[in-house]
């Protein structure tokens, strides 16, 4: 909480600082009442949020999505790919690995393995060596070889575009399937990764921890046509502004609608220093910094 200079001076006078430095009594009273008023305002805001109706939550969530669209008009999948199979492979490799590292690894991989059949018949040692930089390379090699074999045997080497079929394939869970559907096939899907789950809980859209439950709850809040882009926007926001340990609250476009405002520094200058990514200048302009 920021304390005014008059309040600090008044407190100093009570502690024995010479009377010459004291402020008038009416100014002292006004300064002392300011923190109380601020506390009351926060309590009222918290109570209002606690009493938020389902309709109110839908409106707030959609309003926040619109703000995110202004903040990140170019939000997109940050994994490089040109085909649905390449996206599936890249998403499998992204587990416990950064997108940047995956994108450094996949060009050579995609050049050597161009089809499901190539992965199905891959030399395990060679494949493991190529994907070693992404970590957990043995398990990931198992998934890629298994994926190739399943596609060849069940779908003539072509990746299906249905959720129920995708999740039956080696290495592809619901999150990966939604990434593939939304970005390779244009089928709306919500990708609940670490950033997405963390932020929607921070925003009190849901308290659920289970990714599938989070997906369904958020899907009821946001229009279906927005699901894929919402996922990108939330992930962008989580990586650039709403960090796990110290969110940039004082420079956040969502501040007025965020029940967790104040979790990070609210001082604009301090918060601005926490913003990351190529959109930094644009994000700061949106909040008048």
Supply the residues annotated as catalytic: 175, 193
Rounded Cα distance, 91 and 102, in Å:
9
Q: How many CB atoms lie within 10 A of CB 225?
A: 9
CB 28 within 8 A of CB 6: yes
**Distant-in-sequence, close-in-space partners of 220: CB < 8 Å, separation ≥ 6:** none
User: What tokens appear for 187 in the block?
Assistant: 């089928």
Q: Where are the alpha helices (DSSP H) in the chain?
A: 5-14, 25-50, 54-71, 84-93, 99-112, 116-120, 124-131, 137-155, 163-166, 174-184, 194-202, 211-221, 227-240, 268-272, 280-286
User: What tokens appear for 145 in the block?
Assistant: 């070889």
């Amino acid at each position: 909480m920021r304390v005014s200079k008059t309040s600090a001076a008044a407190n100093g006078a009570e502690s024995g600082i010479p009377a010459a430095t004291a402020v008038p009594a009416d100014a002292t009273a006004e300064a002392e009442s300011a923190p109380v008023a601020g506390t009351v305002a926060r309590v009222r805001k918290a109570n209002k949020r606690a009493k938020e109706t389902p309709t109110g939550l839908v409106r707030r969530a959609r309003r926040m999505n619109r703000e995110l669209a202004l903040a990140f008009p170019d939000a997109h999948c940050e994994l490089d790919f040109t085909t649905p199979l390449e996206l599936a492979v890249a998403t499998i490799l992204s587990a416990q690995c950064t997108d940047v590292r995956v994108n450094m690894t996949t060009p050579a991989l995609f050049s050597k393995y161009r089809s499901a059949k190539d992965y199905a018949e891959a030399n395990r040692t060679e494949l493991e060596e190529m994907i070693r930089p992404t970590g957990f390379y043995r398990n990931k090699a198992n998934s890629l070889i298994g994926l190739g074999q399943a596609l060849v045997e069940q779908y003539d080497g072509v990746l299906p575009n249905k959720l129920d079929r995708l999740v039956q394939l080696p290495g592809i869970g619901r999150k990966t399937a939604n990434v593939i559907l939304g970005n390779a096939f244009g089928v709306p899907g919500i990708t609940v990764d670490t950033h997405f789950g963390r932020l929607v809980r921070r925003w009190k859209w849901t308290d659920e921890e289970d990714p599938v439950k989070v997906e369904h709850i958020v899907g009821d809040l946001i229009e279906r046509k927005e699901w894929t882009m919402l996922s990108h926007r939330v992930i962008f926001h989580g990586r650039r502004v709403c960090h796990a340990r110290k969110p940039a609250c004082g420079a956040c476009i969502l501040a007025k609608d965020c029940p967790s405002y104040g979790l990070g520094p609210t001082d604009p200058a301090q918060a601005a220093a926490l913003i990351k990514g190529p959109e930094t200048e644009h994000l700061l302009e949106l909040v008048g910094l």
